[in-house]
Amino acid sequence: MDRMKNNPEMKKLGAVMAPFHSVAVAYSGGVDSTLLVHLLQRVLGVRVRACLARTPFLHAREEKAARALAQRLGFDLTVVDVDLWALPAVKANPRDRCYHCKKAILGSLRSASGPVDAFLDGSHAGDLKEERPGRRALEERGVISPFAQAGWTKAHIRETARKLGLPNWDKPSQSCLATRVPHGTPLDPGILARIERAEETLWDLGCRQVRVRWHGGAARIQAAPQDLILLTGREMKTEVPEEFARLGFSGVSVDPIPYESP
C-alpha cells in the first residue's frame, strides 16, 4: 500500500483529498465507487462512510450484491431509502429525468451521511466529457468527484482495482431500471418490475451485461458481444420468449448491434 501511495496517480488523488479527513461516498457496488472507498480508507487513511441509495429503480440483485461487497471489504455502509415515485418530474420521464433523480438521491444521501468534510462520488475523467443531466445535480449538491479531478480514466480505475484484487474489478457498468424506458413514456412500477424480472431471466442464462428496453409493451434486448452468442441458442427460441410472454411482454427481439459500455 505504501508503494501505491507514492505512484503518480495516487499522488494526484491524494492532492485532491488533502483538505478532507472524513467523507461520505455515494456507493453503488460498481467498480468506481468501490475503488474510491477502498483507496480512501486503506491507502490515504481518510474516514469514509459508504452511502447506498435504495430506490424503486435499483435492481434487487444489485442492492444485494452491493451490500455483500461492502461487508466483505469492511466498508461502513449506510443504506437510505429514496422514494422517487413521489416526484412528478421523475414519473413523467422527461429527457432530464436523471437530473431530478440524482438531485433527490444525493440530497437524501447527504442528509443521512452525518457531519463529514465532503460528499464524494466515483465519476471519472471520461464522465466529464459527456453531456449528462446528472452532472448538473452533482454540481448543485456540491458533490466532489476525486477520480475526475485527478484525471483517472475508467481503464485506470479497472486496472487499479484488478491489481488490488477487488472482486468487482471487471463488473460491467450498470444503470437504473428507468433507463430502459424511452423518454416521454411515463414510468410505471409494473413496467419496471417486468423489466427487472426479464433481465434476471437473462442473467440466469449466464448473460453479464444486458438491457431489456421497453417498446410499447414489447421487449428489445441489447446485449454485450459475448452475451449475444448466448442469445442465439435454444433458450432464445423457446424459453426466453415464453418467459417474457408470461411476464406480460407482447413480443421480444434481440438487437443485432452489440451493446458496449465501459
Domain 2-163 CATH (choose: 1.10.3210.10, 3.40.50.620, 3.40.718.10, 3.40.50.300) = 3.40.50.620
CATH 3.30.70 fits 188-254, yes or no: yes
In the chain, the N- to C-terminal Cα span, in Å, equals: 26
Is the CB of residue 138 less than 8 Å from the CB of residue 227? no
Q: What is the pLDDT of residues 164-207, one digit of tens each?
A: 999 999 999 889 999 999 999 999 999 999 999 999 999 998 99
| For residue 48, pLDDT beyond 80 | yes
Instruction: Determine whether 237 is exposed, middle or buried from the number of CB atoms within 10 Å of its CB (0-12, 13-18, 19+).
Output: exposed
pLDDT digits (tens, 9 = 90+) for 196-255: 999 999 999 899 999 999 999 999 999 999 898 888 876 677 888 999 999 999 999 999
State the chain's maximal CA–CA distance in angstroms.
58
Triad 25, 29, 30: Cα angle to 5°: 95
pLDDT tops 70 at residue 34: yes
Let me know: does 185 contact 90? Beta carbons within 8 Å: no
**Domain boundaries along the sequence of the chain:** 2-163, 188-254
Q: How far apart are CA 68 and CA 34, in angstroms?
A: 12
Q: 3-class DSSP state for residue 119?
A: strand
Q: Cell 436523471 maps to which residue?
A: 98
